[in-house]
Structure 1
């Protein structure tokens, strides 16, 4: 099922958190109406970002966390020569901006991969609300923990020798996240470019393109530009054998 949130106008997007279709993803289940209204009162801005627009840059002062309401973003770092390393891709219902918690300033860039809507949560007010709503505080801690786990998995993936395994694990992870968003986990819309995927995995773009073609030939995927349909989830899982073995050993 294709998301429709990206076609909503600003007035439609300025709905309260209590009526947001993503509330079960970014808020703890069972939170009361009064607490939900208090959280909604902390939302400073619900705004749109066009494709390529920057949400924050390395060195920007930390003021808020952000919930991706629709669309998607990438976070990345750059060196003095302008070389980029993509750190993560962020989907609706996911929270970004945690990189600034330690030093009170962002140490990465966040850029929209497509037209996206963002909820801004000023951190000072958010701290006040989470101190008064334990369920929300626990949810934020779970989200931070999930970010750490994903970072560890990314580092493991970057260190693997098998490029096919890296791409398979990436696609399987996206599928799992789609299912968490209550979307079809077999129908992926890759808002990121092949270059972005290659950069994220530590591969060259030609290798990524070749691997997509190989997986099509194997009958694992059906690829139509940015649309990828997983035809054989079982075969895709088989290509993630190191990932499976790691989980069986309790890693990640």
Structure 2
């Protein structure tokens, strides 16, 4: 068997609550085990898939971090999202049967491979799975709208504060600290995602440190005042 593809069971995975629907019977979980029957390792800097690749599967991130990005007309990489354990990537390929972005590992990672034709077939049999797939798609749409709001109306401080709050919230849902984490992405990648220049990202991080809101040591971030970040994003809630 290819060393890159290892048998793994959904029913015993500690991330199943994050990437699979709740309320399935033991029999239904067994059928899902046959659907998500392999996983693939992706080394840091390697692409899980690239623009133009034929779309065949969805991928549940089992470990590690990814970024999705597209290349602009002038040759720059534009980061469109960051994905972590328990999240699904590859939905961009459904519309045209080819991927519309690159998915690149920011650290050594593993993904569970879910052939999309089997996902569709099982979705027709299991209403909870069908609803879950629809919810994942809806979440992507909502996330896209949130990014448009970030880029269209927020100042630099608001953008970075919203980004840090979203990141720590997602990490906390996976059992990590609600206030301390290591950034897997560079400041340049954060800037690309938030529509900010590298210098602006660095300056805004420094301002948050000077204001006593966070501590930063290279990629280590400690959020000392979560409420202060929330007030930056939603100043109207300030008393």
Q: Do the two structures share a fold, i.e. TM-score over 0.5?
A: yes
* In the alignment, structure 1 residue 17 sits paired with structure 2 residue 10: yes
Separation in structure 1 between the aligned mates of residue 101 and residue 61 of structure 2, nearest angstrom: 17
Shift of 1:19: 0.6
Separation in structure 1 between the aligned mates of residue 34 and residue 124 of structure 2, nearest angstrom: 15
CA change 1:117–1:205 in 2 (3 A) is same
| Map of 2:139 onto structure 1 | 146
> What secondary structure, in the 3-state scheme, does the structure 2 residue paired with 1:145 have?
helix
| Map of 1:237 onto structure 2 | 230
State the TM-score, normalizing by the size of structure 2.
Answer: 0.93
CA change 1:243–1:208 in 2 (3 A) is farther
Matches within 5 A, 1:25-174: 25-174=18-167
> What secondary structure, in the 3-state scheme, does the structure 1 residue paired with 2:70 have?
strand
Tell me which stretches of 4 or more aligned residues in structure 1 moved more than 4 Å: 242-245
- Provide structure 2 residue ranges, at least 5 long, that are not aligned to the other structure: none
Shift of 1:32: 1.4
> What secondary structure, in the 3-state scheme, does the structure 1 residue paired with 2:69 have?
strand
Question: Does the CA contact (< 8 Å) of 1:189 and 1:227 recur in 2?
Answer: yes
Separation in structure 1 between the aligned mates of residue 206 and residue 224 of structure 2, nearest angstrom: 14
Shift of 1:172: 0.7
- Provide structure 1 residue ranges, at least 5 long, that are not aligned to the other structure: 1-9, 246-252
Separation in structure 2 between the aligned mates of residue 67 and residue 28 of structure 1, nearest angstrom: 13
Separation in structure 1 between the aligned mates of residue 236 and residue 85 of structure 2, nearest angstrom: 25
State the TM-score, normalizing by the size of structure 1.
Answer: 0.88
Separation in structure 1 between the aligned mates of residue 190 and residue 149 of structure 2, nearest angstrom: 16
